[in-house]
């Protein structure tokens, strides 16, 4: 389920914020953190409380450091997106943990419980990743290296894509 979480979280953040300065690597890393619990079953990474706690830690830890905040906000955003993409709310005892008690239900991880649907979702994640490859212009080595080094997108490419999109919508009757 790596592609489902990583590619879809990057795509959602791109579609919502359209920011080339965002560190998409940290968004993807945050969305994959919940997979740490895969061998043990659902735990705190599948709960809303841990994502909120990490968000609070980032906000407090980056007071007065705007650029650091912008960078590190990717981790809790990715964690929130993991909850959405995983359907974590379907188990209210896990999602709202520890509000209904500190003990977590002893069940298999949601990713495993889906069975064949996990394969379908992973294939969809691969397709989203292919779309992102083209959307971000990663066939260009320089853009790819910039992304791997900084997590950011090439501003000139993104600006050119927006101009083309705006021209297309303006030319339509």
- Contact between 74 and 27 (Cβ < 8 Å): yes
For residue 170, being part of any structural domain is answered with no
For residue 41, being part of any structural domain is answered with yes
For residue 59, being part of any structural domain is answered with yes
The reported pLDDT for the residue numbered 160 is 58
For residue 98, being part of any structural domain is answered with yes
pTM above 0.75, yes or no: yes
For residue 172, being part of any structural domain is answered with no
Is the pLDDT score of 22 beyond 90?
no
- For 69-114, the pLDDT digits (tens) are 989 999 999 999 999 998 877 777 777 777 777 776 666 666 666 7
For residue 171, being part of any structural domain is answered with no
* Burial grade of 165 (CB within 10 A; 0-12, 13-18, 19 or more): exposed
Residue-range definition of the domain harbouring residue 15: 2-165
Give dist(CA 90, CA 83) in Å, integer.
10
For residue 173, being part of any structural domain is answered with no
Give dist(CA 44, CA 37) in Å, integer.
9
Counting the structural domains of the chain, the total is 1
- For 108-143, the pLDDT digits (tens) are 666 666 778 888 999 999 999 999 999 888 999 999
């Amino acid at each position: 389920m790596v592609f489902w979480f990583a590619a879809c979280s990057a795509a959602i953040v791109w579609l919502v914020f359209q920011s080339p300065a965002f560190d998409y690597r940290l968004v993807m890393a945050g969305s994959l953190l919940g997979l740490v619990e895969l061998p043990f079953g659902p735990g705190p990474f599948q709960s809303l409380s841990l994502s909120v706690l990490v968000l609070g830690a980032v906000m407090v830890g980056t007071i007065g450091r705007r650029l650091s905040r912008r960078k590190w906000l990717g981790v809790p955003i990715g964690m929130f997106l993991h909850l959405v993409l995983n359907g974590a709310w379907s188990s209210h005892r896990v999602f709202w943990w520890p509000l209904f008690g500190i003990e977590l239900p002893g069940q298999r991880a949601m990713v495993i419980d889906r069975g064949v649907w996990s394969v379908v979702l992973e294939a969809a994640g691969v397709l989203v990743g292919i779309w992102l490859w083209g959307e971000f212009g990663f066939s260009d080595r320089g853009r790819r290296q910039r992304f791997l080094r900084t997590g950011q997108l090439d501003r000139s490419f993104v600006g050119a894509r927006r101009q083309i999109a705006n021209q297309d919508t303006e030319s339509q009757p």
